[in-house]
Amino acid sequence: MGVAHPVIELTGVSKSYGDVTALASADLVVHRGEMLAVVGPSGSGKSTMLNIMGTLDRPSSGTVRIDGHAVAELNDRELSALRAGTIGFVFQQFHLAAGVPALDSVADGLLYSGRPRRERRQVAERALRRVGLGHRLFHEPQQLSGGEKQRVAIARAVVGDPPLLLADEPTGALDSRSGTVVMELLHELHGAGTTVVVITHDRDIAASLPREVRVRDGRIEHDSTTGSALAELTAEGVAR
């Protein structure tokens, strides 16, 4: 039986926009079934890392492997297929189309699966019931609370049962109670086997997750699983 490959593997990954280095020599390995936070202040490089992990952007240098696939070796069609089958995205803004019921918003997450509409809606209903919205199937965005909208967005992200869920500031637009419900849901999905990466500036959320990766000025300064912390090394140097 072969050894399972990491679901995310970044090796020496850098990303520059003109003279600005958004990410510098990032090394990160995320194994299947992990749950972690990538945390840092605005402008730290965490969103750039998200875009690269999600194959929405390509690095300027370094190698990226997602679920064992070398991203640089894939053409656009192969990249789209990898993204559709492997990665679910949840964003701070819910990206729900006005006037579209929750059921169809979620079913649209399966548009590229080739399944007939009736089957897509059946799978979407199961996903909505999974996130506690079985009573909101035909409600449109304007009829839903912020927390409910985010749960619809999460249902859409996981409707195809992707092994990897990338959540970018998933509680950023929510009140604290709704944010707590959304984080509990992410924990439940993780418990069911989904690899979950939460991008956040909230240190409390980061501290509540099993693994914390801190990013500052485009560099990973701390990874709680490896104990490699540039800040700690610097502090030790000062102490000496």
* Host domain of residue 103: 8-239
Environment class of 18 (CB within 10 Å of its CB; exposed 0-12, middle 13-18, buried 19+):
exposed
| Measured distance CA(199)–CA(30) in Å, rounded | 14
| Torsion angles phi and psi, residue 120, rounded to 5 | -60, -40
* Cα–Cα dist 199/205, whole Å: 10
Report d(CA 129, CA 124) in Å as an integer: 9
159 domain residue, yes or no: yes
Give the pLDDT mean for 161-185: 93
The pLDDT assigned to 236 comes to 41
pLDDT band of 225, cuts 50, 70, 90: confident
Structural domain includes residue 16:
yes
Domain count of the fold of the chain: 1
Q: Is residue 228 part of a domain?
A: yes
226 pLDDT band, cuts 50/70/90, is: low
pTM of the predicted structure, to 2 decimals? 0.88
Instruction: Summarize the confidence of residues 72-101 as an average pLDDT.
Output: 92
Residue 68 to residues 5, 8, 75, Cα–Cα distance (Å):
6, 8, 16
Domain-embedded: residue 45: yes
pLDDT of res. 230: 40
Q: What's the CATH number where 220 sits?
A: 3.40.50.300
What is the pLDDT at residue 237?
Answer: 41
Look at residue 128 and tell me if it is in a domain: yes
Task: Say if 106 falls within a structural domain.
Answer: yes
pLDDT, average across residues 115-125: 94
Angle at 19 between CA 14 and CA 22, to 5 degrees: 35
pLDDT at 5: 84
The answer to whether residue 3 sits within a structural domain is: no
41 assigned to some structural domain = yes
